Structure 1
Amino acid sequence: MYSFTDTIEASQGATLPSEALKINGEYIENQITGYRTLYVSGRESLAPELTMIESGSRDGSVLNYKRYPVRTITVGYQLLTASAENFRKAYNVLMDILSVEDSELIFADEPDKYFTGTFTSMSDIDPGRNCVTGEIEFTCLDPFKYSVDEYEIEPESDGNYFAVQYNGNYKSYPTFEVDFYNDESGEENNNGRCGYVAFFDDEEHVLQFGNPDELSEEQVEIVESETNTYSVPTTKVLLNHSFKKSNSWNGVKSKYIVNKGIIYKSSVQTGTIGAVHSYNTTAEDTYYLAATGFGTGNRFHGPTVTYTLSEAATDFELSYAQKMCIDSSKDGKKQCGAFQMILSDASGNIIAGVDIYKASDGTKGRYRMIVDGKVQKEAEIDLSLNNKFFGQNRVADKKKKITEIKTVKSSSITKNGAVMSFNLGGIKQSFTFNSIKTKAVKKITIMVSKKANKPALKYNGLYYAKIVKNYSKQVTETIDKIVTEYHDVQNKFNANDVFVVDSSAASAKLNELDRSDLGALGNDWEDLYLQKGMNQIGFSYSDWVESDYAPKFKLRYREVFL
């Protein structure tokens, strides 16, 4: 319990009480005339609950475990108004302020820390009075308070480790980010590949992802004379183009053919394409490949670009990211358009593809998953401004009851034998057809279009596209003479990948897609954390990665207090 505030003296000045409550970014005193915080309780250190075990005739008990219970914070207040009407208006505003779940609670005497709590009760007040006192109760399911600032740490210059001076008095679970080598060359190469990454502390608690035994190349010994033939799995990057910079498209457009591609249905290939801003900004890294002119047509029409692979790929993984949504203008719901990503063979037959289109007013469109030239699945999809698939990110504003939306934007199409798998912004579906087992992709066509004379979608473009060929290399083994050969192997991580590990949620994401399968079964999620004082957390990655192509590591955390 903190000291009592003299409200008679306080009402004569404009200063806030020392324990004034800022909820979701604004003090209540600044929103309601006549409101004043009197006192606060429940912010003090929280005592743990102990679970103990008694053993026979042994004196005392043995500690089994301890935990911290839910925290309850009580705010005493006074409300002074000039009339019954003003009193009711003030209470309506107060209830609106308190109605947000999981509110951010900051107190004036400790502005650098916050609790997360939900309003759960309010004391009764005397009826018929315009000057009252009462209590507001918040329940904090998470009993700890956190630093307002989130800290980001770079590795120390003399080694692969983070040195963190942690000033909280309770453990904090950090977030790790790994940015693999950024390859903007547009050429076929294996730069930036990596087999695993790991994080560990001084007590040998480890978070490991990928396979530490995975090599860049596999050594194969071949014996001559007696012939043996076997297959070695390997990969080859056939396409890796990013369009996020203003000059990205100019650097690679000579490798593409415009408006002569293989597309689904009878859309008209016309218009021009180039680098366009995907946000209302002129900053680099915000561009994408989009239509700069749609031409004319009485149905869906717009430009296409087609890339021919240096060699056909029977099994592959195509990954790409796009933005596709209407804007928030008055006429935004009238915007129409389509996006196609089509993979075809050398003869122009469609092997696989995606067709997303919006053909009428509203916020909804439809998507098609295409295999072997036919639509295997068609369903509705949200194309509003902040849709979770390909929309624009939205920043949270608790005061306005606006939640954060972080959209996926990333998709993939994978072929493994007779199985074609789609991950369309998080919508996953697989199809099995023996008819495609031996078919190979040779060309990739991207189309961005609008419908007839309707206004085009405000946002419709491609950030990057990458295709990796998976195949088995035939190796011949002979007896008598031993020959050593080296072959590329399939690696977990590649150039331009971004890998994020949130140890507080025990989650891992690769290019914004959940990849819990990359984590080792024995990962020490509960035991790898920051504690008060100096902490040293090391990291490692495949030792065969050359220093020029090494991944970059970051650590982020908030301080946690009882």
Structure 2
Amino acid sequence: MVMYGFTNLDINPSINSPTRPVEAINYGGHWLDDEITGYTTLVVSGRYTFSRKINDADLTGDGNMYLSSKLERRVIEVKFLIKTESIVEYNRQMEQLNIILSKPHQRLYFADYPEAVYTGTVTEIKMENDILNDVGTITIECSDPFAYSNDQIASGTGNSFQFPNTGINYGQTPETIIFNPSADIGSLTVSNGDKKIEINQGITANAKVLIDFNALDVVINEVSTLMNVTLDSNLGDFYIKDGDTIRFSTNGKYEIRYRVKKL
């Protein structure tokens, strides 16, 4: 009998401080509204829009011929208020802000939707008037326009797992698949529809097989076995969506880790 479990590791919004503004930002693990005295998030823009760049070719007649397109990077702007009593306090607040925001390529999310996690870099902090009580804007560029849920983990025993309806609507691979076969096997195939990953190598019972889709590697008991993965395997495009079923060529214990993309 197939047994599986499903673990949702999304941030619990109930832990948010009741004093934070609705759109308070967490950048690199820091709530700015909590850590910087006198700082208040006012409004955020750029989270629910996108832009697409089209690659086309000129025609001799009317219009152009569509060739391809891609989503461009996301730009998020956070408008905030700084209230201070003295220039000394103002300088200290801005120094704290710069220390937190100077770190590039950080995870960030907002109090009203903590399940959507972006990765971005602050490219500019601009103040309107440079006075003690002032309004400023933080500009964050996200090279990847998508937000992602926190890690979702599906685990169980058997030879298959079907994804529930969790909002997997965009092309994405899992983060990792870990499989421990229940018996010695001569090879292992992991498939999803017409996509497969085939390992032509003997694997002992309970060995740890790790398929890492970010590193594009297959590791057995901490040793890379990429040379024994067939050339027609789909490491780079093993895409999943709601309702898909991942199948293993033998019984065993599995753990599938993935993050749901959001636009």
Q: Same fold (TM over 0.5)?
A: yes
Q: Could you say what secondary structure the match of 1:91 adopts?
A: helix
CA contact 2:127–2:135 (8 Å) conserved in 1? no
- Asked if 1:536 corresponds to 2:228, the answer is no
Q: Of 190, 197, 214, which aligns to 1:207?
A: 197
- Asked if 1:162 corresponds to 2:157, the answer is no
Q: Could you say what secondary structure the match of 2:48 adopts?
A: coil
Amino acid across the alignment from 2:21:
P
Matches of 2:125 and 2:107 in 1, distance apart?
Answer: 18
1:493-504 equivalences under 5 Å are 493-504=203-214
Matches of 2:198 and 2:94 in 1, distance apart?
Answer: 53
Question: Residues 100 and 199 of structure 1: is their aligned pair in 2 closer, same or farther, counting only changes over 3 Å?
Answer: same
1:382-461 equivalences under 5 Å are none
Aligned to 1:390: none
Q: Could you say what secondary structure the match of 1:30 adopts?
A: helix
Matches of 1:505 and 1:140 in 2, distance apart?
Answer: 21
CA contact 1:205–1:528 (8 Å) conserved in 2? yes
Aligned to 2:70: 67
Q: Of 552, 555, 558, which aligns to 2:253?
A: 552
CA contact 2:154–2:257 (8 Å) conserved in 1? yes
Aligned to 2:91: 88
Question: Residues 493 and 145 of structure 1: is their aligned pair in 2 closer, same or farther, counting only changes over 3 Å?
Answer: same
After TM superposition, give the deviation of residue 496 of structure 1 in Å: 4.2
Amino acid across the alignment from 2:132:
N
Matches of 2:52 and 2:245 in 1, distance apart?
Answer: 27
After TM superposition, give the deviation of residue 74 of structure 1 in Å: 1.1
CA contact 1:172–1:557 (8 Å) conserved in 2? no
Amino acid across the alignment from 2:142:
C
* TM-score after normalising by structure 1: 0.41
1:39-438 equivalences under 5 Å are 39-53=43-57, 62-127=65-130, 129-148=131-150, 150-154=151-155, 160-165=159-164, 166-174=166-174, 175-181=176-182, 192-202=183-193, 204-210=194-200
Aligned residue pair count: 244
Matches of 1:179 and 1:495 in 2, distance apart?
Answer: 7
Matches of 1:86 and 1:31 in 2, distance apart?
Answer: 14
The structure whose Rg is larger is 1
Q: Could you say what secondary structure the match of 1:116 adopts?
A: strand
Aligned to 1:31: 35
Following superposition, which runs of at least 4 residues in structure 1 exceed 6 angstroms of deviation? Answer: none
Q: Could you say what secondary structure the match of 1:97 adopts?
A: helix
Q: Could you say what secondary structure the match of 2:107 adopts?
A: strand
After TM superposition, give the deviation of residue 130 of structure 1 in Å: 0.7
Aligned to 2:227: 517
Identity value in percent: 27
Amino acid across the alignment from 2:24:
A
Q: Deviations over 1:439-469 (max 9, x none)?
A: xxxxxxxxxxxxxxxxxxxxxxxxxxxxxxx
Matches of 1:28 and 1:95 in 2, distance apart?
Answer: 11
CA contact 1:156–1:163 (8 Å) conserved in 2? no
Amino acid across the alignment from 2:152:
Y
Aligned to 2:8: none
Aligned to 1:506: 216
Matches of 1:115 and 1:108 in 2, distance apart?
Answer: 13
Amino acid across the alignment from 1:207:
I
**Residue segments in structure 2 that go unaligned for 5+ positions in a row:** 1-17
After TM superposition, give the deviation of residue 62 of structure 1 in Å: 4.9
Q: Could you say what secondary structure the match of 2:243 adopts?
A: strand
